[in-house]
Amino acid sequence: MDLNKIDKTIITTLTTDARTPFRKIARELDVSPDTISNHFEKLQKLGVIIGSTVVLNTEKIGYTSIVRFGFKVKPTFSSEILSNIIKIPSIIVATKLMGEFDIIALGVIKDFNHLFKLRDEFVKMPNIEKVDISIWIKTMSLKSKYFII
Amino acid sequence: MCLVLMDEIDKKIIRILQNDARTPFKHIAEETNVSRDTINNRFERMIQDKIISGTTIILDSKKSEDGLFAFIGVKTKMSDSDVVLEKIKEIPGICSISRAIGEYNIEGIFLGKSMEEMIQIKEQIKNISNILDVVVEVFVDSPLLCPKNFEFD
């Protein structure tokens, strides 16, 4: 996909502050706000920009840690299972993998009871063969744009 | 841990912005029956209180030419894990890295522009002294983010 200078500037600017007014980006690039607006819409249509969100400080809202779940699933079921996993509250990111696990998911937990409840939800889901759990402590997020943590 | 109190207006602001961070405050004001200034003040206050770290766009990493993601799991001797973690942190491409309680003692996620770059990153990690084992698993697609799954009560 060919992204030009305008597209790249829009992406970089909005990654750090999604609320940046288009006027401001336009001034930097010496183009009209409409041009920025059109490019932004194009990037959304092409699926480069999927959406925008607010980045929360998980600790401040009562979450104590991040948990990484690794799933082994029955062949051909991974897409269906993935779409169910991302609906579960507290799961903040999930994707298919190549390797030991078929799906990886990251969740935020409040305490151990919360973790057990989450695990029980996965155990109830059909066609999951194994759930591996690892608790992340002292997580350092170096690039939050893809992980919102 | 210090918990900050949030009222219904704060929560509503967050819920709306989780869906679309560019929602005009005027619109949020109408939804919550308060003034635009109130929304603005609440938003600024939540940033000051560090409840909100910022706003960002969600990208499809493949389409935005950023590359591929991979999970990394590292085994070290318990006593070496902090030193090894500090070294891994310095490697370009690492997005997130943690001490972990599970099969591996360090886990994280990294981003590489191409398969070659990903292999390079893996080699760099393997070269760190005191590492017993490294496992890398490449994401098949861009990760699906689900910010709306955050709950508060």
- Which pLDDT tens digit goes with each residue over A60-97? 888 888 899 999 999 899 999 999 998 888 898 889 99
SS3 B79: helix
Q: Would B152 be classed as within a structural domain?
A: no
CATH class of A58-137: alpha beta
- When divided into structural domains, chain B yields a total of 2
Phi, psi of A11 (to 5 degrees): -60, -50
Q: Would B58 be classed as within a structural domain?
A: no
Let me know whether B35 and B78 are in one domain: no
Nearest C-alpha in B relative to A95? B143
Let me know whether B28 and B75 are in one domain: no
Let me know whether B80 and B40 are in one domain: no
Residue B38 sits in a domain whose CATH number is 1.10.10.10
pTM of the model: 0.80
Strand ranges inside B77-120, DSSP E: 94-101, 106-112
C-alpha–C-alpha distance, residues A45 and B57, integer Å? 14
| Contacting B residues, span 120-139, partner chain A, CB-CB under 8 Å | 135-139
- The total of other beta-carbon atoms located within 10 Å of residue B130's CB is 12
What is the nearest CA distance from B60 to chain A, expressed in angstroms? 5
Tens digit of each residue's pLDDT (9 = 90 or more) over A5-32: 999 999 989 988 999 999 999 999 999 9
Q: What is the pLDDT of residue B33?
A: 95
The residue assigned the tokens 């942190």 is B89
C-alpha–C-alpha distance, residues B76 and B81, integer Å? 6
| pLDDT exceeds 70 at position B151 | no
- What is the domain extent for residue B130? 68-138
Tens digit of each residue's pLDDT (9 = 90 or more) over B56-115: 888 887 776 677 889 999 999 888 999 999 999 999 888 889 999 988 999 999 888 888
Q: Would B145 be classed as within a structural domain?
A: no
C-alpha–C-alpha distance, residues A117 and A95, integer Å? 21
Q: Would B41 be classed as within a structural domain?
A: yes
SS3 A55: strand
Residue B108 sits in a domain whose CATH number is 3.30.70.920
CATH class of A5-45: mainly alpha
